[in-house]
Amino acid sequence: MTTTAEEIELELKRAQAARAEGIPGKVRVCARRAAGAAIRGWLGRRSEPPEGWLKGGTEVQHLRLMKDNARLPESVRGAAGRLATNVQPDHAMPFANDPVDDARIVIEYLAQ
């Protein structure tokens, strides 16, 4: 079984490989999975999940909870919100931020 840190690193490497292959959708999916692994690890280290959180929730559910949590720094809320945003019908994103950078913001915050 892999550790949370190994899972995060694997997904970030997959995101970088997808970027090199020119597959932006896969970059985003892998970045979101890396952030999701960090969230699961963070929840697993807590005796009780924060109010409104589910230990079995999806990555997108958790990212949306982070986006809406006024106690978190704006940078973390923004990164979580961008990772949780659905792509537009033409597969474009409504912002230019790098999803790997956004994942790293979430990961670093939860590692504190």
Task: Kindly tell me if the per-residue pLDDT of 94 is higher than 70.
Answer: no
pLDDT of residue 95: 73
Taking CA 83 as the corner, what is the angle to CA 35 and CA 79, rounded to the nearest 5 degrees?
80
CA angle, residues 37, 70, 77, in degrees to nearest 5: 40
Would you identify the CATH topology of the domain 4-111? Four Helix Bundle (Hemerythrin (Met), subunit A) (1.20.120)
CB-based contacts of 44, cutoff 8 Å, min separation 6: 4, 55
pTM over cut 0.85: yes
Using 50, 70 and 90 to split pLDDT, how confident is the model at 111? very high
**What's 13-75 look like in SS3?**
HHHHHHHHHCCHHHHHHHHHHHHHHHHHHHHHCCCCCCCCCCCCCCHHHHHHHHHCCCCCCHH
Say how far apart CA 54 and CA 65 lie, in whole Å. 10
Tens digit of each residue's pLDDT (9 = 90 or more) over 38-85: 999 988 888 777 777 777 788 999 999 999 999 999 999 999 999 999
Tell me the domain boundaries of the chain: 4-111
- From CA 13, how far away is CA 27, in angstroms rounded? 10
Instruction: Label residue 98 exposed, middle or buried (CB < 10 Å: 0-12, 13-18, 19+).
Output: middle
